[in-house]
């Protein structure tokens, strides 16, 4: 059981709608159960540097099965996971990566980058909720 391309497109559409509603151009990446890229969209005028960040956020969330912001709380200087970002070819540990769940089971993750981290998290959550409730 993993995410289908149709599901990924529906999640991305929900995320894009939220991004448009709050007026921020976003990069939106979705990975499957195996943390492999399933889909990606860069909205017009979204930051070029956020292509890589959105993909890394989706992967980071699935790598550790938690929202990326949770990892960032643990990776600070003096924290238990200090500088974990050096692993896996580079992690992103600030908010914007959120798990995708189906019937309580993790089937992938969405990563969003392009605005403030609060906006990124809000848009990623909108995508994830459209999936869970869809």
Q: List residues binding a copy of itself (CB under 8 A).
A: 4-5, 8-9, 32-44, 47-53, 56, 60, 62-65, 72, 75-78, 80-95, 116-117
Please report how close the Cβ of residue 96 comes to a copy of itself at its closest, in angstroms: 10
Please report how close the Cβ of residue 73 comes to a copy of itself at its closest, in angstroms: 10
Do residues 111 and 100 lie in contact, with contact meaning Cβ atoms separated by under 8 Å? no
Please report how close the Cβ of residue 7 comes to a copy of itself at its closest, in angstroms: 10
| Distance, CA of 129 to CA of 99 (rounded, Å) | 10
Residue with tokens 């809000």: 122
E strand intervals along the chain: 27-32, 37-42, 97-102, 105-113
């Amino acid at each position: 059981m993993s995410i289908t391309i149709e599901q990924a497109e529906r999640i991305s559409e929900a995320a894009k709608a939220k991004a448009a509603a709050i007026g921020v151009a976003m990069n939106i990446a979705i990975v499957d159960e195996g943390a492999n890229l399933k889909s990606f969209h860069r909205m017009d005028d979204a930051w070029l540097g956020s292509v890589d960040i959105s993909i890394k956020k989706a992967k980071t969330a699935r790598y550790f099965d938690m929202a990326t912001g949770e990892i960032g709380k643990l990776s600070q200087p003096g924290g238990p996971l200090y500088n974990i970002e050096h692993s896996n070819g580079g992690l992103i540990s600030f908010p914007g990566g959120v798990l995708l769940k189906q019937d309580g089971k993790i089937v992938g993750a969405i990563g969003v980058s392009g605005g403030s981290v609060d906006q990124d998290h809000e848009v990623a959550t909108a995508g994830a909720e459209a999936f869970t409730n869809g």
